[in-house]
Amino acid sequence: MSSRFDLVTVGGGLGASALAISMAKRGARVLVLEKELQFRDRVRGETLAPWGVAEARELGIAELLLKTCANRILWMDMGFGLRDIIGTTPQKEAGFTYFHPEMQETLLCEAEQAGAEVRRGVTVVGVEPGVHSAAVIARGAQDQRIPARLVVAADGRGSVARKWAGFTAQKTPHPFHFAGVLLTGVSAPEDVMTYLFNPDFALVVGIVPLTKQRWRAYLGYCTENGLLLEGHEKLGTFLAESKKIAPSVAEAYADVESVGPLATFEGTESWVDHPYRDSVVLIGDAAGTSDPTFGQGMSITLRDVRVLRDALLSHSDWDQAGHHFARQHDVYFQTTRKVCGWLRLLFEDPSAEADALRERAMPQIAEDMTRVPDHLLSGPDLPADETVRERLFGS
Ligand SMILES: Cc1cc2nc3c(=O)[nH]c(=O)nc-3n(C[C@H](O)[C@H](O)[C@H](O)COP(=O)(O)OP(=O)(O)OC[C@H]3O[C@@H](n4cnc5c(N)ncnc54)[C@H](O)[C@@H]3O)c2cc1C
């Protein structure tokens, strides 16, 4: 007996809803299961890099985001003067920023408009892989088993669905935390995103203008300093630590108020090699959670959606499509991870070994900024070989 659904998604975040929109518009029968009745501020990604905006455009959701919730970011400040984002990226795109819950509401509504069935307040409690179809178990008064031609696990950075489906996650721990809070009253322009790194303090500060006079403030810091920036009572410490990085940050934060929770996350990356098996595919953070410091997660998620969509549309055998997606995912996820590792070492790491590296590399970078690989804005299709590494480290 054939399943009622072609695709069932575990979760209704960015990855699941973007895929639901794309596939429902092409006639697929899609069911989205999302546990939240209303999205709230979980302190998540709110800057979509230009290469992610290009993916959003390919998926037909860029204009929708702009019309409903997104702000265009034209300039980037990394402490070396303002960079013109549109003029200096191959995609010729601005960056987008948005309040994450508003983006989620927009896309989930659009998925429904496109013909997907969306059930909210439904928690998936199991996934059953299978050779020709898989199934999810949805929690209710009586648990319901829902079969589908393909189950898409898009349940985010703490994905349990991947465990139920029998995948094993790899991890690279490193000693950094990344905290974020929503602020008003920030004194900074609305079309400039600021990311400042200072390895002397092992700190990273991000100031991201959203819409409606709100800013997302991020602080990356080394776990060795013993801080855990969680809860409203730690806001003073968050601001004081951030202000250490540069006088411009002290000015920007002179008169701010928080309007959302303060939360901290591990910078640890985790991923599944080859995120497809037995009619279950992983996308977004469930397939690979990148270090949030470098703001790549949503762009990778949209790349996942586009690559998977194209594979499903071009293969009648969805098992082959799943494997095709998984092979491609491994390449762009690992390229991003590799380059982020280089940048973490050079710009964040407080060790003596990294100091020595900076002593050699930084004067050469000051003379020629193109030594810094541009994957964070321009995407993982740029080369990331030994020559690129040697240029960065000045060897
Ligand atoms: C502090 C921080 C800063 C970040 N900054 C950036 C940034 O600037 N730029 C960037 O590109 N990325 C950033 N990221 C990463 C970005 O937030 C993620 O990559 C992105 O949200 C992943 O989308 P997703 O759809 O895979 O998962 P999520 O957005 O996590 O969506 C998963 C959904 O699944 C639902 N769900 C989970 N379990 C179940 C279940 N069992 N049943 C039903 N529903 C379920 C959840 O409620 C949620 O709605 C940041 C992350 C963090 C933590």
pLDDT in tens, 34-54: 999 999 999 999 999 999 999
Q: 53 and 93 in contact (C-beta within 8 Å)?
A: yes
Residue with CA closest to ligand 1 atom 34: 11
Mutate-to-test residue for ligand 1 from 21, 99, 102, 157, highest number of ligand atoms within 8 A of CB: 157
Q: Residue 337 — pLDDT band, cuts 50, 70, 90?
A: very high
Bridge partner list, 218: 180, 206
Helix (H, G, I), strand (E, B) or coil at 290: coil
Ligand 1: atom nearest CA of 36 is: 47
Residue 268, ligand 1, Cβ within 6 A: no
Query: Using a 6 Å cutoff on CB, does residue 47 contact ligand 1?
Result: yes
Q: Given the DSSP bridges, would you call strands 144-153 and 5-10 parallel, antiparallel or unpaired?
A: parallel
pLDDT in tens, 11-31: 999 999 999 999 999 999 999
Kindly give the residue spans of alpha helices, DSSP state H, lying in 155-245.
Answer: 161-164, 235-243
Bridge partners, 134 (sequence order): 148
Whether 14 lines ligand 1, by a CB cut-off of 6 Å, is yes
Q: Could you read off the pLDDT of 190-199 as tens digits, one per residue?
A: 999 999 998 8
Q: Among 337, 376, 292, which Cα is nearest to 172's?
A: 337
Cβ atoms of 369 and 361 within 8 Å: the answer is no
Residues 5-75+87-171+269-336, CATH architecture: 3-Layer(bba) Sandwich (3.50)
Tell me the three state secondary structure of residue 307: helix
pLDDT digits over 280-297, tens only? 999 999 999 999 999 999
Residue having the nearest C-alpha atom to atom 35 of ligand 1: 11
Q: Where are the domains of the chain?
A: 5-75+87-171+269-336, 176-266, 351-393
Range with lowest mean pLDDT among 114-118, 145-149, 352-356? 352-356
The domain 176-266: what is its CATH number? 3.30.70.2450
Cβ atoms 130, 150 nearer than 8 A: no
Pocket flag, ligand 1, residue 12 (CB < 6 Å): yes
Q: Are 260 and 231 in contact (CB under 8 A)?
A: no
65-100 burial string, b = 16+ CB within 10 Å, else e?
A: bbebbbbebbbbbeeeeebebeeebebebbbbbbbb
Q: Quick one: which of 300, 302, 307 has its CA closest to 321?
A: 307
Residue 257: phi and psi, rounded to 5, are -130, 145
Task: Quote the mean pLDDT of the chain.
Answer: 96
Phi and psi torsions of 129, nearest 5° = -70, 160
For residue 392, the CA-to-ligand 1 centroid distance in Å is: 31
Q: To test the ligand 1 pocket, which listed residue (41, 93, 155, 301) has its Cβ within 8 A of the most ligand atoms?
A: 155
Q: How far apart are CA 189 and CA 76, in angstroms?
A: 11
